[in-house]
């Protein structure tokens, strides 16, 4: 009986220790502690809050940076010093009362100094409004003025508040998204109280276009992606080419089933070339790349090194060679990846797998963010203004370590609109030289 009692006490003690240990881990080390997973709405941008509330919000953001972001425990990171200096500067400007917009701009100035495209701040407005007609924006005409102010000046304001890694990406976002949004124009310092007037330049001279702001479903000349069409493919038997298009990196059953069917048809038709179209893919889950590689006839591939922040520690993982757990049918032909400045995050990772493992060629523009960068976001909400912000807790390093500081430059640079044509030209050129290997079932 005494022995049983001792065993029970030992078991209870062990459970207590495990519970205490797990509690300590969650309270001090788990990166996801205190993150938000619920839907919410930011306070209206014009709403006033007290200076004390704004400072509480900014202090909360700084606390999350200091306790979660790897940069704060890396040795000699100059960007951290810049963020801390900007925090002091912006905090000193806060008066007794500020608008939510003013707070958003102040926080944006602070986070901008980190140049981390995954550590960002946004307002969440389910009733966001847009300029009433997208025709001129989408026409490619040159924008010269906004409400009579040089567009270059507004663009410079935007760059000072935007969180980005590459200027080419920032420029693309400014043209395609910021200029169309009422909230984001305000964020850039544009007075939109009476709509907005854009001045465009063309070969025939300049012209003014005035826009009111309307809900997205009332915008004229809006080019929308076909609903539900985010992963699809086509087989060009005549050119022995399969084109696999992915507009967002969702790793789910639909993706896995589509990849499987694609390679089955590639094998069935003895297709020798595969084009992966990742243009304007903003990312998502990087496992889409891993799944795709499983259908390639390779023994393995290199994956990137990283550091993960856990509490006040950095867990370092070296570049590693991953055994390829192949799926049938295997493909051994030519691979081309189409990219542009909007190929971002996990889509950039997908491209890097192909590029840095020398599995294929990249055509188009350099991807929007850097291969060596911070990432994997922790999502939070400020307590008073309800601004959304994210903080990276990992630091990724490019697979090809000899190009650590370089963007993912294409093998064949071209206007991304012409990238598919360029791929076909290369395929035709390769075919005329020597036949590609048989890409049937392996």
User: Do 406 and 84 touch, CB atoms closer than 8 A?
Assistant: no
Residues sharing a CB contact under 8 Å with residue 436, sequence separation 6 or more, in sequence order: 240, 272, 273, 333, 334, 430
E-strand stretches of 2-104: 48-50, 97-99
Q: Can you point out the beta strands (E) in 203-272?
A: 205-211, 213-214, 231-236, 241-246
Partners of 98 in the β-ladder: 49
pLDDT cut 90: percent of the chain above it:
86
CA distance 215 to 227: 18
Q: Which residues contact 304 (CB under 8 A, 6 or more apart)?
A: 319, 349, 352, 371, 396, 397, 398, 399
Domain CATH number, residue 153? 2.30.42
Domain boundary among 181, 214, 247: 214
pLDDT of residue 6: 55
pLDDT of residue 205: 79
Mean pLDDT of 275-280: 98
Per the domain annotation, does 224 fall within a domain? no
Is the pLDDT reported for residue 18 higher than 60?
no
Does one domain contain both 317 and 389? no
Residues 276 and 306 in one domain: yes
Q: Is 395 inside any structural domain?
A: yes
Q: Say what the pLDDT of residue 15 is.
A: 60
Least confident span in 45-59, 78-92, 191-205, 393-407: 191-205
pTM over 0.85: yes
Give the pLDDT score at 140.
81
| Statement to judge: residues 286 and 418 lie in one domain | yes
| Domain range enclosing 59 | 34-123+374-399
Q: What is the pLDDT of residue 331?
A: 98
Q: Is residue 27 part of a domain?
A: no
CATH of the domain at 81: 3.30.750.44
For residue 37, the number of C-alpha atoms closer than 13 Å in the C-beta half-sphere is 3
pLDDT at 441: 35
Instruction: Taking residues 391-408, report their average pLDDT.
Output: 97
CATH number, domain containing residue 247: 3.90.226.10
Give the pLDDT of residue 65: 98
Give tens-digit pLDDT for 170-213. Answer: 999 999 999 999 999 999 999 999 999 999 998 777 899 999 99
The reply to whether 254 and 204 lie within a common domain is no
Shared-domain flag, residues 270 and 418:
yes
Chain-centroid distance, C-alpha 101? 24
Check residues 352 and 1 and name the one with the higher pLDDT: 352
Q: To the nearest 10°, the Cα dihedral for 18, 23, 29, 35?
A: 140
């Amino acid at each position: 009986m005494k022995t049983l009692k001792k065993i029970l006490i030992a078991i209870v003690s062990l459970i207590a220790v495990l519970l205490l240990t797990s509690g300590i881990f969650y309270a001090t080390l788990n990166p996801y502690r205190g993150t938000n997973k619920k839907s919410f709405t930011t306070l209206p941008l014009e709403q006033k809050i007290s200076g004390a509330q704004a400072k509480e919000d900014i202090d909360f953001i700084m606390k999350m940076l200091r306790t979660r972001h790897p940069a704060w425990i890396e040795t000699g990171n100059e960007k951290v010093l810049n963020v801390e200096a900007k925090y002091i500067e912006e905090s000193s400007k806060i008066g007794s009362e500020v608008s939510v917009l003013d707070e958003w701009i102040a926080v944006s100035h602070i986070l901008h100094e980190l140049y981390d495209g995954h550590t960002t701040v946004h307002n969440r407005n389910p009733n966001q409004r847009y300029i009433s007609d997208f025709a001129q924006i989408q026409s490619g005409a040159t924008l010269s003025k906004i409400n009579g102010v040089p567009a270059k000046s507004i663009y410079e304001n935007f760059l000072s508040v935007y969180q980005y890694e590459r200027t080419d990406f920032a420029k693309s976002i400014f043209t395609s998204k910021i200029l169309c949004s009422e909230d984001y124009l305000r964020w850039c310092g544009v007075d939109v109280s009476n709509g907005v007037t854009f001045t465009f330049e063309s070969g025939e001279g300049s012209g003014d276009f005035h826009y009111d702001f309307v809900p997205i479903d009332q915008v004229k000349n809006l080019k929308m992606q076909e609903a539900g069409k985010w992963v699809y493919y086509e087989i060009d038997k005549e050119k022995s080419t399969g084109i696999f298009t992915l507009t967002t990196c969702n790793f789910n059953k639909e993706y896995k089933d589509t990849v499987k069917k694609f390679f089955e048809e590639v094998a069935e038709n003895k297709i020798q070339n595969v084009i992966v179209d990742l243009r304007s893919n903003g990312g998502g889950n990087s496992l889409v790349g891993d799944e795709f590689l499983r259908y390639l006839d390779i023994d393995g591939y290199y994956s990137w090194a990283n550091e993960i922040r856990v509490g006040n520690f950095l867990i370092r993982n070296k570049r590693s060679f991953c055994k390829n757990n192949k799926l049938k049918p295997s493909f051994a032909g030519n691979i081309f990846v189409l990219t542009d400045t909007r190929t971002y995050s996990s889509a950039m990772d997908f491209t890097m797998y192909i590029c840095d493992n020398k599995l294929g060629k990249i055509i188009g523009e350099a991807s929007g963010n850097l291969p060596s960068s911070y990432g994997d976001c922790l999502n939070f909400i400020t307590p008073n203004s309800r601004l959304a912000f994210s903080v990276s807790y990992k630091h990724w390093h490019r697979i090809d370590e000899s190009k650590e500081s370089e963007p993912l430059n294409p093998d064949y640079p071209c206007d991304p609109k012409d990238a598919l044509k360029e791929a076909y030209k290369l395929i035709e050129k390769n075919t005329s030289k020597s036949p590609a290997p048989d890409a049937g079932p392996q």
